[in-house]
Amino acid sequence: MALRDVAPDLGRNTGITLDLDWVDRVRVNRSAAERRADTLTKRRTVKKQWQAAWLLKAITLMDLTTLQGDDTAGTVRRLCAKAKRPLREELVDRLGVDSLGIQVGAVCVYHEWVATAVDALRGSSIPVAAVAAGFPHGQSPFEQRVAEIEASIGAGATEIDIVITRAHVLTQNWKALYDEVAAFRTACGEAHLKTILATGELGTLQNVGKASAVCMMAGADFIKTSTGKESINAVLPVGLTMMRAIRDYRDRTGFRVGFKPAGGIRTAKQALDWMILMREELGVSWLTPELFRLGASTLLTDIERQLEHFATGRYASASRQPMV
Positions marked active-site: 161, 224, 260
- Give every CB contact of residue 51 below 8 A, 6+ residues apart in sequence: 272, 306, 310
Which CA distances in Å does 277 have to 62, 212, 280? 16, 17, 5
Find residue 294's DSSP bridge partners.
62
Task: State the chain's maximal CA–CA distance in angstroms.
Answer: 57
Q: What is the secondary structure of 167-217 as a DSSP string?
A: HHHHTT-HHHHHHHHHHHHHHHTTSEEEEE--GGGS-SHHHHHHHHHHHHH
- Annotate 296-318 with three-state secondary structure: ECCHHHHHHHHHHHHHHCCCCCH
Using DSSP, state whether 227 is helix, strand or coil: coil
Cβ atoms of 225 and 262 closer than 8 Å: yes
The length of the chain in residues reads 324
Output 50-56 pairs: Cβ under 8 A, ≥24 positions apart: 51/272, 51/306, 51/310, 52/95, 52/306, 52/307, 52/310, 54/272, 54/275, 55/268, 55/271, 55/272, 55/303, 55/306, 55/307, 56/95, 56/97, 56/100, 56/102, 56/307
Using DSSP, state whether 8 is helix, strand or coil: coil
Cβ atoms of 162 and 133 closer than 8 Å: yes
Find residue 194's DSSP bridge partners.
161, 222
Taking alpha carbons only, the member of 195, 194, 203 closest to residue 171 is 203
